[in-house]
Amino acid sequence: MEKLLVLTHVDESGVALTKASLEAVAAGVEFAGASGAALSIGIVGAETGTAANSVAGASARVLTVSGEAFAQARYASDAAACEALCRAAEATLVFAPSSSRFARVIPGVAYRLGGFADTHITALGAGKTLEASRWFYRQRVEAMIRRESRPWFLLLDAGTRAPFAAAAGQVQAETVAVSLPQLRSQVTGIVAPKQDEQTIRPEAKMLFVAGAGWTKKQADGQAHVAEAGSLILNFLRSADASLGSSKSLVDQSSENQQVLSFLTHMNQVGQTGATPRHAKGLATCCHGEEPHVVGWRFINDRRAISLDPNCGWARGKADVVYVADAFKVMASVNALLAENKQ
Ligand SMILES: Cc1cc2nc3c(=O)[nH]c(=O)nc-3n(C[C@H](O)[C@H](O)[C@H](O)COP(=O)(O)OP(=O)(O)OC[C@H]3O[C@@H](n4cnc5c(N)ncnc54)[C@H](O)[C@@H]3O)c2cc1C
Domain ranges of the chain: 3-175, 195-341
Closest to 285 in 3D by CA, of 341, 210, 185, 191: 210
Question: Does the structure show a pLDDT above 80 at 181?
Answer: yes
Question: Does the structure show a pLDDT above 90 at 322?
Answer: yes
The response to whether residue 228 sits with its C-beta less than 6 Å from ligand 1 reads: no
Backbone angles phi, psi at 65, to 5 degrees: -120, 120
Q: Does pTM surpass 0.85?
A: no
**Residue 213: DSSP 8-state:** G
Residue nearest (by alpha carbon) to ligand 1 atom 27: 212
Decide if 237 contacts 338 (C-beta within 8 A): no
CA distance 15 to 11: 7
Please give the distance, rounded to the nearest whole angstrom, from the Cα atom of residue 258 to the centre of ligand 1: 16
**Residue 175: DSSP 8-state:** E
Q: What is the DSSP string of 76-124?
A: HHHHHHHHHHHHHHT-SEEEEE--HHHHTTHHHHHHHTT-EEEEEE-EE
Q: Using the Cα atoms of residue 213, residue 218, residue 224 and residue 229 in order, give the sign of their dihedral.
A: negative
| Region of poorest pLDDT, from 65-69, 128-132, 257-261 | 257-261
| Region of poorest pLDDT, from 59-68, 254-263, 279-288, 305-314 | 254-263
Report the top-level CATH class of 3-175: alpha beta
Q: What is the pLDDT of residues 255-300, one digit of tens each?
A: 666 688 889 999 999 999 999 999 999 999 999 999 999 999 999 9
Decide if 5 contacts 85 (C-beta within 8 A): yes
Closest to 263 in 3D by CA, of 279, 242, 282: 242
Please report the atom of ligand 1 found closest to the CA of residue 288: 25
Residue nearest (by alpha carbon) to ligand 1 atom 4: 291
Residue nearest (by alpha carbon) to ligand 1 atom 29: 287
Closest to 245 in 3D by CA, of 262, 224, 225: 262
Please give the distance, rounded to the nearest whole angstrom, from the Cα atom of residue 335 to the centre of ligand 1: 27
Question: Does the structure show a pLDDT above 70 at 225?
Answer: yes
Tell me, yes or no, if the two domains 3-175 and 195-341 fold the same way.
yes
pLDDT in the model for residue 21 = 98
151: preceding bond cis by omega (within 30 degrees): yes
Q: What is the DSSP string of 125-161?
A: -SSSS--EEEEETTTTEEEEE---SSSEEEEEPTTSS
Backbone angles phi, psi at 191, to 5 degrees: -105, 115
Instruction: Tell the CATH topology of 195-341.
Output: Rossmann fold (3.40.50)
Please give the distance, rounded to the nearest whole angstrom, from the Cα atom of residue 238 to the centre of ligand 1: 25
Residue nearest (by alpha carbon) to ligand 1 atom 45: 285
pLDDT in the model for residue 186 = 87
The response to whether residue 218 sits with its C-beta less than 6 Å from ligand 1 reads: yes
Q: What is the pLDDT of residues 73-103, one digit of tens each?
A: 999 999 999 999 999 999 999 999 999 999 9
